[in-house]
Structure 1
Amino acid sequence: MTAEVFEHPALSSAAAELAELRAAAGRLGVPDPVAALRHLDCAPASIRTSAAAVDTGALAVTSAQAEFRAGVERAENGGSTEAFGTWADTVDGQYAAAARAAAETAALGARIADRLDELATAAAAEVSALASAASAAATAVLAGDRSAEVVSEVSTACTAVVRAVSAKIASLPSLAAELEPLTAPAVELS
């Protein structure tokens, strides 16, 4: 039996702990507890890396804005027209809005990565405990025991794994709602 590989290391570990329960479930035709974990797999480290890159971009925009503002002030002090000053203030505001949007996006990415990490880690711990509790019954099923007690225990454990994962997944819409503002342009360029 090959080890299941998940993006989240805690889920890979949990899948390994569920291997015997999974094999017993297969013999009984009950829900596959490892398959349930797939619905919660995620890569928080990748999300954090992306958020850090966006944050670095926000710093670059802030720096560019400062350089632009300094150039505008030099131009305005040199006798430029009022129209140039108005245009420059608009562009400066766009720089500021872009930098704020990038910083907010980076912070949101970090929050989402942390929340996904918490959910995956909590689910892994919960399903590992369920697998441990049903270990004797799973071993008995694999040895050929089809008594009502062991069959029920394996089936109940598999169903509990599916429910535990489903409960974690149920909290994901709140994360999706946080992403909604990112669907509109951060800055309308003039």
Structure 2
Amino acid sequence: MTSPVFEHPALTAAASSLASLRAAAGRIGAPDPVAALRHLDCAPPSISASAATVDSGALLVTSASAEFRAGVEHAETGGSAETFGIWADTVDGQYTAAARAAAETAALGARIASELDTLAVSTAAQVCELAAAAAASVTAVLAGDRSAEVVSTVSSTCTAVVRAISLKLASLSALAAELEPLTAPVVELS
């Protein structure tokens, strides 16, 4: 049986380490520890790359804003400079707000990628430790032993793995709350 592949390499390694526990769990009807890992799967490098793209976009908007401001200053020297200046200041403010929002979004994306990476790595280490502690009982169940002690150890280990993952998932709600403001445009460009 091949080990499941996850987006995050630490979770792929953990799934491989949990393979025997998963097989023992299947024999006694305990929760599947590898299936629980799926809920934490993530690809921090992809998130970081997206954040870097947004940051590059912010730099382009900042550059366009500077060019626009230079053009406005040049144009304000003739005709209806006052009306044009008010309109230009509004547009310039929108450029600035859009650039700031993009830079803040990029920084948030980079931080979230880092936090997800840390979460995946720490969870993988924690569940591997749990599985290692139950290795003797797992081996016994896989060899056909159905004594209460080994079955209980395997079952409680699977439950502990699921609980550990659930606790880590609960910590993601704070990250999700930080993403909420990004669902509405910061500025409407004229």
Q: What band does the TM-score fall into relative to the shorter chain?
A: over 0.9
Number of matched pairs = 190
> Quick one: percent identity of the two aligned structures?
77
Contact 2:10-2:124 within 8 A present in 1 as well: yes
Residues 76-103 of structure 1: CA distance to partner in whole angstroms, max 9, x if unpaired?
1345521001111111000000000100
- Establish whether residue 5 from structure 1 lines up as the match of residue 16 from structure 2: no
Where does structure 1 lack aligned partners over 5 or more consecutive residues? none
Task: Kindly state the Cα deviation for residue 188 of structure 1 after the two structures are TM-superposed.
Answer: 2.1
The residue aligned with 1:163 is 163
For the residues of structure 1 that align with 2:10 and 2:139, how far apart are their CA atoms?
Answer: 23
What aligned pairs does 1:115-130 form with structure 2 within 5 A after superposition? Answer: 115-130=115-130
Other-structure match for 2:174: 174
Aligned-partner Cα distance in 2 for 1:189–1:33: 49
User: Shift in Å at residue 168 of structure 1?
Assistant: 0.1
Looking at structure 1, the residues matched to 84 and 17 of structure 2 have their Cα atoms a distance apart, in angstroms, of 67
Does 110-119 or 60-69 show the bigger shift? Answer: 110-119
Paired amino acid for 1:119: L
Q: Please give the alpha-carbon distance, in whole angstroms, between the structure 1 residues aligned to 2:74 and 2:37.
A: 60
CA distance in 1, matches of 2:92, 2:81: 17
Q: Which residue of 2 aligns with 1:70?
A: 70
Distance in 1, Cα, partners of 2:136 & 2:39: 27
1:44 aligns with 2:17: no
1: CA distance, partners of 2:126 / 2:81: 68
Query: Which residue identity is paired with 1:184?
Result: A
CA distance in 1 between counterparts of 2:46 and 2:80 reads 48
- The 4+ residue runs of structure 1 with deviation greater than 4 A are none
Alignment of structure 1 residues 23-172 onto 2, 5 Å: 23-78=23-78, 80-172=80-172
Unaligned runs of 5+ in 2: none
Distance 1:150 1:116 in 2: 34
Cα distance between partner residues in 2 of 1:175 and 1:117 = 13
- Which residue type is aligned with residue 71 of structure 1? G
Shift of 1:189: 2.7
Contact 2:75 2:81 in 1 (8 A): no
Q: Deviations over 1:121-160 (max 9, x none)?
A: 1110000001111111111111111111111111111000
Q: CA RMSD in A?
A: 1.0
